[in-house]
Amino acid sequence: MTEQRVAIVGAGIAGLHCASILLENGFEVVIFDRENEIGGRMRTKIVDGFQLDRGFHVMQTAYPTAKKVFDHKAMGSRSFDPGALIVDSRKGKQRIRRMADPWRQPIRGILSAFNGFAGMGDLFKVARLRSKVTRGTIDSQFNGEDDTTMEYLRSFGFSQEMIDRFFLPLFSGIFLESDLRTSERMFRFVFRMMSKGRMVLPRDGIGAAPATLAKKIGEERMRLGVRIGSLDPDAVRFRGEAHRFDAVVKAFSEIPENTPTRSVWTIHYDAEKAPFKSKLILLNGDIADPNSLVAHVAIPSNVQPTYAPDGRSLVTVTIVGDRAVAAGIQDASAVDAAARADLGRWFGDGTVSGWRTLDIQNIEMALPETGAGVRLTHKPRNGPGDVIECGDQLLHGSVEGALLSAEKAAEEVMTQKNSQKHVNNLPARRF
Ligand SMILES: Cc1cc2nc3c(=O)[nH]c(=O)nc-3n(C[C@H](O)[C@H](O)[C@H](O)COP(=O)(O)OP(=O)(O)OC[C@H]3O[C@@H](n4cnc5c(N)ncnc54)[C@H](O)[C@@H]3O)c2cc1C
Ligand 1 centroid vs 331 CA: distance in angstroms? 23
* CATH 3.50.50.60, applies to 5-43+207-253+373-422: yes
**Closest listed residue to residue 360, CA positions, set 380, 326, 330, 384:** 330
- The reported pTM is 0.93
Q: What is the pLDDT of residue 377?
A: 80
Q: What is the pLDDT of residue 106?
A: 63
* Distance between CA atoms of residues 34 and 229, nearest Å: 10
* Distance between CA atoms of residues 394 and 430, nearest Å: 19
Taking each helix axis from N to C end, the angle separating 13-24 and 399-416, rounded to the nearest 10 degrees, works out to 40
Ligand 1 centroid vs 423 CA: distance in angstroms? 27
**Closest listed residue to residue 263, CA positions, set 309, 295, 307:** 295
Ligand 1 centroid vs 35 CA: distance in angstroms? 12
Atom 37 of ligand 1, residue of closest alpha carbon: 252
Helices (H), 255-364: 300-303, 321-326, 332-347, 349-353
Ligand 1 centroid vs 278 CA: distance in angstroms? 29
In tens, the pLDDT along 380-423 reads 666 666 789 999 988 889 999 999 999 999 999 998 886 444 44
Ligand 1, closest atom to CA 405? 26
Amino acid occupying residue 16: L
For a mutational test of ligand 1's pocket, the pick from 63, 252, 408, i.e. the residue with the most ligand atoms closer than 8 A to its C-beta, is 252
Atom 10 of ligand 1, residue of closest alpha carbon: 398
* CATH 3.50.50.60, applies to 44-205+257-367: yes
Which residues does residue 242 pair with via DSSP β-bridges, in sequence order?
237
For a mutational test of ligand 1's pocket, the pick from 20, 35, 36, 57, i.e. the residue with the most ligand atoms closer than 8 A to its C-beta, is 57
Ligand 1, closest atom to CA 229? 41
- Domain-by-domain residue ranges, the chain? 5-43+207-253+373-422, 44-205+257-367
Which residues does residue 244 pair with via DSSP β-bridges, in sequence order?
235
Kindly give, in sequence order, each residue whose CB lies less than 8 Å from that of residue 284, ignoring residues fewer than 6 positions away.
87, 169, 292, 294, 295, 296, 297, 342
Q: What angle do CA 28, 29, 33 make, to 5 degrees?
A: 170
Under 8 Å between Cβ of 298 and 281: yes
In tens, the pLDDT along 293-352 reads 999 999 999 999 999 999 999 999 999 999 999 999 989 999 999 999 999 999 999 999
Q: Which helix (H) or strand (E) holds 53?
A: strand 50-53
Residue ranges in the chain whose pLDDT is less than 70: 1-2, 102-119, 380-385, 418-431
Ligand 1 centroid vs 105 CA: distance in angstroms? 33
* Distance between CA atoms of residues 425 and 13, nearest Å: 18
Which residues contact ligand 1 via a Cβ below 6 A? 9-15, 32-35, 40-42, 55, 57-58, 227-228, 251-252, 264, 363, 366-367, 391-392, 397-399, 401-402
Q: Which helix (H) or strand (E) holds 238?
A: strand 235-238
* Distance between CA atoms of residues 205 and 311, nearest Å: 19
**Closest listed residue to residue 78, CA positions, set 98, 58, 107:** 58
Q: What is the pLDDT of residue 312?
A: 98
* Distance between CA atoms of residues 353 and 147, nearest Å: 43
Under 8 Å between Cβ of 24 and 8: no
Ligand 1 centroid vs 12 CA: distance in angstroms? 6
* Distance between CA atoms of residues 250 and 253, nearest Å: 8
Ligand 1 centroid vs 41 CA: distance in angstroms? 4
Note the maximum CA span of the chain. 76
Under 8 Å between Cβ of 123 and 110: yes
Ligand 1 centroid vs 40 CA: distance in angstroms? 5
Atom 49 of ligand 1, residue of closest alpha carbon: 40
Ligand 1 centroid vs 413 CA: distance in angstroms? 22
**Closest listed residue to residue 27, CA positions, set 409, 379, 427, 380:** 409
Whether 5-43+207-253+373-422 and 44-205+257-367 share one fold: the answer is: yes
* Distance between CA atoms of residues 406 and 394, nearest Å: 10
